[in-house]
A and B are shown apart, each in its own frame.
Chain A
């Protein structure tokens, strides 16, 4: 959810986040650098001295690993920290970083062995204790870390983070330091993909320096990643930028190529894109809506379009009796067939997003055309199904979205499509002024109509797209979907160590979802990004984030 969260969060932030979520279609990576038309001598200052600039936003919280769930905090943390594993930028596969090994026989008890020789930016060696202490600190409810729930699978979390009252323990019983380079993790239930979560920021290690004053540390973090905070160049300058430089003693394989990076905070993607065209900014991670049609023409070879592990959907309030009565699933299927995904992505996204045919994004293992005809535009069948299902509940479909993000356009288009097929007045957008208000109604189960809901992979595994969203009682199950068949299959799939067997179980679980259709898959986003003439070798990973370490400055 990192991504979605981030995309959404941004969207919440106003005109600002125009492009939340980029993405889609063709995977033509145009990375070769012509450098030809570089006549723009205009600024160039941005990349002086081997540093380059990249667009970002002000971190919403202090820079503590378990305290970032939006791009602004995630980018600097992901540059300054490395966990046990990291993700291959091209495939999203889990690849070892600090871990020598992470073994399990039952998906419950895990033994972690660390590589030796790694140090924090202040020279302190990274040990097993660096990890265990950091996780315990992050999980402790009194430390108010926004991503504390990531430690939930670990045994003993309940005592550190009780639903009510004060914590009754300071350390999770499931974490044990064996020696400097070894520790063990015990989970409360088997999770075969647990290893795949180890690249996410809450699972980073922390130096002892941190505990002296976590708040002060949060202003100027000391990590173990390929970049370190460049305090001489200003470090974190509020509402302006964060400057990091290469950490020369970094032991990982992904050493930084550039001398340093300035993450510059833009209040709108429009502004960032404008700066990029002026060569004042070197790397932009998303295109503003206003440039979607033209950025490939504007930037030529410097435009990037590639698939991203994210999906846009419409969710339904299955807790509403009208939407859960028998036959309502036919209405949802009918509505799904009334949406002309191809025409909408073409009109709104200039064909850059890919119409969805599965709840999993392409690139997630197990992705297949599971949705089939249900996700194909079919006006006659759509009308018929909606009629068979007893018509649209409450007489009219509303699709809720926040007005301050980039979503209004496509929600309107989806409604128009439904209106064309089912009849005028069948659907209208319901605009919330801000993300927070929409969120409150959605998570508070107060919706009567549909609402937009997106998802972006935290780690490339079906669990993240299915279990975390559709299992009965899952934290992000806003629809209130509850299917014993799905739950049972999901549980088996989670516990199965064999990958293929697990994927097969997920496919069966998805088949059940297509029958119930708790949400309608719309399209997959692509990363739409670009870079200036000052840099080369700019790549984006499958999550849509720039691969900061690879960029080279000319």
Chain B
């Protein structure tokens, strides 16, 4: 793999220097991979000083505090997370109390968002649905960061044949689109379809981007003078990884992770739409949107409210990732 061999010589810290890299992780969805080229290109750009995470973070934080995008998205996310944790605060109605005689009521004072065909209160379902979506997004992202981080760090740190093998494994997974992989994965476990299975399905097919970034960062840092110095002073591998490599890789990973979080939430909804997402007992936006599509002609509001919340959530994460990305990338200021 030429690009891998090559970055042993010089290396990209993943992304800071790469314009629009933030757009690229979307290829988790779009599934493209231009790693080869980005690597080649990096030596052309000025290399950021990798060794001073604290300074960079302070700078970024100052930048963030000036970004309205950051405030808007952070406020929305706080609200949504609060909703996911304590839905009872927002709605006293039971989302599973669905008297069929209350079918298809338009939004009114009793039912702010109306009721669906089953007679369930849409406002209550929308509030309670936050938990499933946000859990899937957050836990999947955590899993992906862990999985991709470990694999990427391994490949980057050890290099050689381990790197070559992990690179091929990464390619294998990259070749399968997230939705397609998750579709087949979910179908393979018809019996115990839980929220954790959805997380697993998305995690298994969603870690590659993080792994590549992580690997890139590790390769860069590994060859930097201060790591060589640390090693000469007798620092062990774990210490080097923890102290020097991680802080450096974390910034691009955070950006990618925040943005893919939105992607995972949207993909979960799509799985539910295809009928193989969360179990029916779970109140979720995806499932509600899916059943609302059948009444789009007559009761569009049933589609509107859960879709709105889903989109706002996805949007908030993307905005946040975007703001962080801009804060970390001096060139875009």
Q: Which residues of A contact B (CB under 8 A)?
A: 15, 18, 288-291, 293-294, 340, 343-344, 346-348, 403-404, 408-409, 412-413, 416-417, 419-420, 424, 428-434, 437
Contacts of A413 in B (CB 8 A): 98, 100, 117-118
Find out whether the CB atom of A431 lies under 8 angstroms from the CB atom of B280.
yes
Knowing that A288-B294, A413-B100, A417-B100 touch, tell me 9 more A-B residue pairs with CB under 8 angstroms.
A289-B294, A343-B100, A344-B100, A347-B117, A408-B275, A409-B118, A416-B120, A420-B98, A428-B281
Residue of B nearest to A440 (CB): B190
| Contact status of A404 and B275, CB under 8 A, knowing A290-B295, A416-B119 | yes
Taking the complex as formed, is B187 at the interface, i.e. its CB lies under 8 A from any CB of chain A? yes
| Contact status of A434 and B187, CB under 8 A, knowing A343-B101, A347-B118, A428-B280 | yes
Interface residues in B247-297 (C-beta closer than 8 Å to A): 274-276, 279-281, 291, 293-297
Contacts of B297 in A (CB 8 A): 290-291, 293-294
B276 to chain A, nearest CB (A): 5
Find out whether the CB atom of B280 lies under 8 angstroms from the CB atom of A290.
no
Scan B116-134; emit 1 where CB is below 8 A from any A CB, else 0: 0111100000000000000
Taking the complex as formed, is B175 at the interface, i.e. its CB lies under 8 A from any CB of chain A? no
B92 to chain A, nearest CB (A): 15
Find out whether the CB atom of B275 lies under 8 angstroms from the CB atom of A416.
no
B287 to chain A, nearest CB (A): 9
**A294 touches which one: B98, B117, B298 (CB < 8 A)?**
B298
| Contact status of A431 and B279, CB under 8 A, knowing A344-B100, A416-B99, A419-B96 | yes
| Contact status of A433 and B280, CB under 8 A, knowing A293-B297, A340-B100, A424-B97 | no
Q: Which residues of B contact A (CB under 8 A)?
A: 94, 96-101, 103-104, 117-120, 186-187, 190, 193, 274-276, 279-281, 291, 293-298
Find out whether the CB atom of A432 lies under 8 angstroms from the CB atom of B117.
no
Residue of B nearest to A428 (CB): B281
The number of inter-chain residue pairs (CB within 8 angstroms) is 85
Find out whether the CB atom of B99 lies under 8 angstroms from the CB atom of A424.
no
Find out whether the CB atom of A403 lies under 8 angstroms from the CB atom of B298.
no
Contacts of A346 in B (CB 8 A): 103
Find out whether the CB atom of B275 lies under 8 angstroms from the CB atom of A431.
yes
**A403 touches which one: B94, B104, B276 (CB < 8 A)?**
B276
Contacts of B98 in A (CB 8 A): 413, 416, 419-420
Docked pose: A273 CA to B294 CA in angstroms:
13
Contacts of B103 in A (CB 8 A): 343, 346-347
B283 to chain A, nearest CB (A): 12
Contacts of B193 in A (CB 8 A): 431, 433
A193 to chain B, nearest CB (A): 38
Find out whether the CB atom of B119 lies under 8 angstroms from the CB atom of A347.
yes
Find out whether the CB atom of A416 lies under 8 angstroms from the CB atom of B118.
yes
Q: Considering residues B100, B118, B186, B293, which has the most beta carbons from chain A within 10 angstroms of its beta carbon?
A: B100
Docked pose: A404 CA to B296 CA in angstroms:
19
Docked pose: A217 CA to B97 CA in angstroms:
57
**B294 touches which one: A290, A340, A429, A437 (CB < 8 A)?**
A290
A415 to chain B, nearest CB (A): 9
Find out whether the CB atom of A432 lies under 8 angstroms from the CB atom of B96.
no
A290 to chain B, nearest CB (A): 4
Contacts of A412 in B (CB 8 A): 118, 280
Find out whether the CB atom of A293 lies under 8 angstroms from the CB atom of B190.
no
B197 to chain A, nearest CB (A): 11
